[in-house]
Amino acid sequence: PTGSLLYPYGPHQGDETNPKHDDGTSEEIALSVPFTFYGKTYKSAFVNNNGVISFDEPVRQYTPDPFPLVDGPPFVAPYWGDVDNVLGGDIFYRQTTNAALLADISQDITQYFPKSPFTATWALVATWDHVAYYGSTSQKGNTFQAVLTTDSKMFYIILNYWDIQWTTGAASDGDAETGLGGIPAHVGFNSGDDTNFYNIPGSQTDAIINITTTSNVKVPGRW
């Protein structure tokens, strides 16, 4: 959408599209540039339908747990909840070295962190486009995006929230008509050990539906 926080996405951008499977996942993505997350370097990732990008192994769990997950794999949770793309929406992803996109990403990051100028050489862009929730009897959909990017020295993750209409699937005690209540979505970073993690404020509370208005870089809807 115009004026959108979202970086360009969709099949016309060369994106792959996840299969239509509840609790499904992408195939294993061999990262053309290894990504370092909490001090460990990973060479493969999965874009999971339930709002998670995981390293080394897929994550099919649909009701979120608070971080840190003591025995959980390392993953980024742009919006971990019970997505059902059979009922609606698509999950797209691509690795890219597109110069125009990398220039935009570099400019954004350098603007937020002017003391460390950054020139991206690679990005993984994953977008959840108007995705429905499990058990939905409504037309509600969530649109959000995660970008992993690096210059091979610094590693950044950008989370973009464009339209968030639901927080919870029906199997997580949410209301089938509203997509609210129960155990709301979780947003943050899980390192895979029991000490390092980050929870974005509002995670697993009803307030997470307002993430389109919050930010740590003074851009509403972007973390």
Question: Is 207 in a helix, a strand, or coil?
Answer: helix
Give the HSE-up count for residue 99: Cα atoms under 13 Å, Cβ half-sphere. Answer: 0
Percent of the chain that is helix, strand, coil (3-state, to 5): 15, 35, 55
The answer to whether 77 and 52 are in contact (CB under 8 A) is yes
Q: pLDDT value at position 3?
A: 62
pLDDT digits (tens, 9 = 90+) for 51-87: 999 999 999 999 999 999 988 889 999 999 999 999 9
pLDDT of 118 above 70: yes
Query: 65-79, 124-138, 167-181 — which is least confidently predicted?
Result: 65-79
| Distance between start and end Cα atoms, the chain | 19
**CA gap 132, 89 in Å, rounded:** 6
The string of pLDDT tens digits covering residues 181-215 is: 999 999 999 999 989 999 999 999 999 999 999 99
Task: Return the pLDDT at 70.
Answer: 81
Q: Is 130 left (phi over 0), alpha (psi -120 to 50) or beta?
A: left
Strand segments, DSSP code E, in the chain are: 16-17, 29-37, 40-48, 52-55, 75-80, 90-96, 122-131, 142-150, 155-163, 186-190, 197-199
Backbone angles phi, psi at 198, to 5 degrees: -145, 130
Residue with tokens 């996942």: 25
Q: One-letter amino acid identity for 9?
A: Y
Q: Mapping DSSP to helix (H, G, I), strand (E, B) and coil, where does residue 72 land?
A: coil
* Structure-token pair, residue 57: 């192994």
Tell me if the bond preceding 68 is cis, omega within 30° of 0: yes
pLDDT, position 72: 82
